[in-house]
Structure 1
Amino acid sequence: MRRRLALLVTATTSLVLIAMLVPMALLVRSAAENGAVAQATTEAQSVAALIGTVDLAALALTANRSSAANGHQISVFLPDGTVVGASTARSPAVELAARGRSLSAEAPGGGREILVAVQGETGTSVVRVLLTADDLSRGVQAAWLGLLLLGLTLIGVGMLIADRLAVALTRPMTGLAHVSHRLAGGDLAARAAPTGPPEIRAAALALNHLATRIDDLLHEERESVADISHRLRTPLTGLRLEAESLTDPEEAERLGGRVDALDRAVTSVIVDVRRRTRERGSCDATTVVAARVTFWSVLAEEQNRPLTLTLPDTPLPVATSADDLAATVDALLENVFAHTPEGVPMSVRLTPTPSGAELAVTDSGPGMRTEALERGRSGGDSTGLGLDIARRTAQSAGGTMTLTTPPNGGTTVTLTFATP
């Protein structure tokens, strides 16, 4: 837009200057010709005034002096055929002027003859002043050069002013675009500065109002989800009391551990929904994956489900928080337990990659449709949010999620994570 405005102003200024300077240039040339003709006429008349009053020697001296002073060739044609001053042949224009008529005529080579007729007792004398093409255009080129420089200067000034005006328009618009991209990226604190023309200021105020409204709606949503999550604490308290009242200590401890894990999950939900943005943390994937697989191995043992765990021998840092990675592993393992029959083997493999880590959860069940990757879609009676949680965690950590289902059955969900 900035370049287009500059080109538009340049084209408009150029057209205006052409319409103004071309007639002015023609007027300068015409004024130069008229000035040269007027000067030559004055010279011819001053010499003509001496005819009949001085002798031929004095007349020739006057003509030569005037010619030398002004640079014009001056000749005097007397009635008897004598030529005084610059020696030249009688042209047709001289013959015409000898009939008693003063005139000007074009001369060979683009010049002009100025002829003044003087009536005398013995006949008509003619004073001729020759103007060359250079005499007629003296000073024109300098004037045209000045006009050209003036035009270029005006065009340059116009382009500079157009560029400043374009910047005054495009800079606020670029700022609006930058703020909109920040809002789209989740930075709800971004606001546009209401600067520039009234229309752009109005757009900036409208964008700020929209951002404020979005922030308010998200805040209400967070508080609503937090309130709903908080209500779960009451039944959790009841479950904990019942677990503590069990007579079997091992059963009470096991059930109490499950209740504590659920309580931590509810607390994590409340904390997450009240955060304005999700901070990108880091953790040791080896430790987190090992801990979560150990937690789920109890249920796998109860269901006679073989569970294979493959971990690297060294810590493996990834660009996501321990809570998010734990929730991801839980979601993937819960999917296996919920959608495959008891006794179906499963495996968890965590391996390092050049750019981070790769987590693969594989089961030997009937397989999963690729539609399950869509949020809210599930192959069974579930919410369909488990895989979406895993996908969003991987993407926030600079990775991806893929789901493969071989023809002979089974499903492998592979997540990649970048290093912090």
Structure 2
Amino acid sequence: MRRWLALLVAATTSLVLIALLVPMALLIRAVAENGAMSRATAAAESVAVAVGAPDLPLTVEQVSRPVTVFLPDGTTVGSPARRSDAVRLAATGRSVTAAAPGGREVLVSAQSPGGTAVIRVFVPDDELGRGVREAWLALLLIGLGLVVLGIVLADRLALAVTRPVDGLAGVSHRLAGGDLTARAEPGGPPEVRSVALALNHLAGRIDELLAAERESVADLSHRLRTPLTGLRLDAESLRDPEEAARVQARVDALERAVSAVITEARRRTAGRESCDAAAVVGERVRFWSVLAEDQGREVTVTLPDGPLPVAVGAEELAACVDALLGNVFAHTPEGVAMSVRLRPHPPGALLTVEDTGPGFEPALLERGTSGAGSTGLGLDIARRTAESTGGGLTVATGDRGGARVELLLGAP
């Protein structure tokens, strides 16, 4: 936009200057020619006064320009010149000016005792255009200066418009990225300020709607807990222990699914949080280590010495780690070793979970893909958690042939 405004102002200014400076340049040339001709006419008239006087040759010599006097008897005084048609016309008593090779000639008739004499004063082209080129150059420089000044002023004006617009674009990108605290600074022309105020109003309205959604999620959690509690009581009242355990397991699975849905909805509507990844990963590994010990699994843990902040809440990261470790227990035989490594990595931290089992297909990354009877949502939850921080998730074959999952988390 700045470039287009600059080009528009340059074109407009150039047209205006051409319309103004071209007539001015022609006027300067006409003034210079008229001045030279006026001076030549004055010199011819000063000589015409001395026609018929004995000191005519002395008067002609005193004139500081080529002067020729054609006397009625056919003789000439002063600079030699041919008797042209214009001279013969002036001999009839008319004062004229005519073009001549290399300039112009001024012819003034004067009466003498023997008839009509003609005084010729030659004006060279250099005198006719004296000072014209310099004046034209000055006009050209002034025109170029005005064009440059117009472009600079247009660029400043365009910057005053584009800078607020760029700010609006930045705020819209931040809102699209989930930063609901982003607000535009009203500035620039009234129209741009109106757009900034409208964008701020829209952001505030989105925040209000998300707050209402959080309230709805909280209400939903209470509504769902009541029937789940009833199902749990019904399961406990069954007489067959195996049937009771089976129904109880189904109820527990349903409760976990409902809790995951509610947690995910709250995560999307809440503001961005952060936590110490080293503390969360260490705590979840200790939790799963009890089961690993029962199954004879060797667990290797590598954590950084100090805190490692990441742009995700502690509950979300814990659920993500549980999903990754749960996949190992669910898809590998008992006794298969596993390792958990957490280390700093741009843009934040890299969590690697690796096992020595048979591995699994990368197709499990697709939402809803099931393997070994699972729901296929564990890796999807981990992937979305990583992507929400600006990172990502990759699955590959480990160094010992098992599955290796790398979770890249962004810094807060």
What TM-score do the two structures reach when normalised by structure 1?
Answer: 0.75
The corresponding residue for 1:307 is 297
Which one of the candidate residues 122, 125, 135 is aligned to 1:133?
A: 125
- Structure 2 letter corresponding to 1:280: S
- Structure 1 letter corresponding to 2:95: S
Tell me if 1:123 matches 2:115. yes
In structure 2, relative to structure 1, the CA distance for the partners of 1:362 and 1:214 (3 Å cut) is: farther
- Residue 331 (structure 1) shift: 1.3
The corresponding residue for 1:33 is 33
Q: Check the 8 A contact 2:278/2:304 in 1, yes or no.
A: no
The corresponding residue for 2:336 is 345
Which one of the candidate residues 114, 117, 141 is aligned to 1:149?
A: 141
- Structure 2 letter corresponding to 1:9: V
Which one of the candidate residues 272, 279, 282 is aligned to 1:278?
A: 272
Partner Cα separation in structure 2 for residue 354 and residue 161 of structure 1: 48
Partner Cα separation in structure 2 for residue 166 and residue 176 of structure 1: 15
- Residue 310 (structure 1) shift: 0.9
The corresponding residue for 2:247 is none
1:305-335, Cα deviation, whole Å (9 max, x unpaired): 4422112386364333654443222111223
1:88-136, Cα deviation, whole Å (9 max, x unpaired): 233425652464243222233x211111223444233110111111221
Correspondence 1:53-92 to 2 at 5 A: 55-57=53-55, 59-65=56-62, 67-68=63-64, 72-84=65-77, 86-92=78-84
Q: Check the 8 A contact 2:303/2:343 in 1, yes or no.
A: no
Secondary structure of the residue that 2:272 maps to in structure 1? coil
- Structure 1 letter corresponding to 2:137: L
Q: Check the 8 A contact 1:300/1:307 in 2, yes or no.
A: yes
- Structure 1 letter corresponding to 2:13: T
Q: Check the 8 A contact 2:292/2:299 in 1, yes or no.
A: no
- Residue 350 (structure 1) shift: 1.8
The corresponding residue for 1:254 is none
| Greater mean deviation of Cα atoms: 37-46 or 270-279 | 270-279
Tell me if 1:105 matches 2:105. no
Tell me if 1:318 matches 2:308. yes
Secondary structure of the residue that 1:311 maps to in structure 2? strand
- Residue 5 (structure 1) shift: 1.2
- Residue 4 (structure 1) shift: 2.4
- Structure 1 letter corresponding to 2:299: L
Partner Cα separation in structure 2 for residue 389 and residue 162 of structure 1: 52
- Structure 1 letter corresponding to 2:60: A
Quote the RMSD (CA, aligned, Å): 4.0
- Structure 2 letter corresponding to 1:150: I
1:132-184, Cα deviation, whole Å (9 max, x unpaired): 11221123233223322331232133223212321222122111112112212
- Structure 2 letter corresponding to 1:201: R
Which one of the candidate residues 169, 172, 175 is aligned to 1:183?
A: 175
- Residue 6 (structure 1) shift: 1.0
Q: Check the 8 A contact 1:369/1:379 in 2, yes or no.
A: no
In structure 2, relative to structure 1, the CA distance for the partners of 1:139 and 1:366 (3 Å cut) is: closer
Partner Cα separation in structure 2 for residue 366 and residue 359 of structure 1: 14
The corresponding residue for 1:21 is 21
In structure 2, relative to structure 1, the CA distance for the partners of 1:271 and 1:12 (3 Å cut) is: closer
Tell me if 1:171 matches 2:163. yes
Q: Check the 8 A contact 1:230/1:270 in 2, yes or no.
A: no
Q: Check the 8 A contact 1:344/1:363 in 2, yes or no.
A: no
- Residue 337 (structure 1) shift: 4.3
Partner Cα separation in structure 1 for residue 185 and residue 408 of structure 2: 40
Q: Check the 8 A contact 2:289/2:299 in 1, yes or no.
A: no
- Residue 191 (structure 1) shift: 1.9
Q: Check the 8 A contact 2:308/2:344 in 1, yes or no.
A: no
The corresponding residue for 2:323 is 331
The corresponding residue for 1:248 is none
What TM-score do the two structures reach when normalised by structure 2?
Answer: 0.77
State percent identity of aligned pairs: 52
Correspondence 1:214-225 to 2 at 5 A: 214-225=206-217
- Residue 402 (structure 1) shift: 1.0
| Greater mean deviation of Cα atoms: 4-13 or 187-196 | 187-196
Secondary structure of the residue that 2:114 maps to in structure 1? coil
- Structure 2 letter corresponding to 1:23: P
Partner Cα separation in structure 1 for residue 229 and residue 47 of structure 2: 129
In structure 2, relative to structure 1, the CA distance for the partners of 1:337 and 1:223 (3 Å cut) is: farther
In structure 2, relative to structure 1, the CA distance for the partners of 1:300 and 1:204 (3 Å cut) is: same
Q: Check the 8 A contact 1:40/1:114 in 2, yes or no.
A: yes
- Structure 2 letter corresponding to 1:63: V
- Structure 1 letter corresponding to 2:336: P
The corresponding residue for 2:6 is 6
The corresponding residue for 2:288 is 296
In structure 2, relative to structure 1, the CA distance for the partners of 1:385 and 1:271 (3 Å cut) is: closer
In structure 2, relative to structure 1, the CA distance for the partners of 1:313 and 1:205 (3 Å cut) is: closer
- Structure 2 letter corresponding to 1:362: D
Q: Check the 8 A contact 1:378/1:384 in 2, yes or no.
A: yes
In structure 2, relative to structure 1, the CA distance for the partners of 1:347 and 1:230 (3 Å cut) is: farther
Q: Check the 8 A contact 1:282/1:322 in 2, yes or no.
A: yes
- Residue 44 (structure 1) shift: 1.8
- Structure 2 letter corresponding to 1:24: M
Which one of the candidate residues 381, 384, 396 is aligned to 1:389?
A: 381
Count of aligned pairs between the two proteins: 385
Secondary structure of the residue that 1:148 maps to in structure 2? helix
- Residue 10 (structure 1) shift: 1.0
Partner Cα separation in structure 2 for residue 419 and residue 6 of structure 1: 42
Q: Check the 8 A contact 1:192/1:208 in 2, yes or no.
A: yes
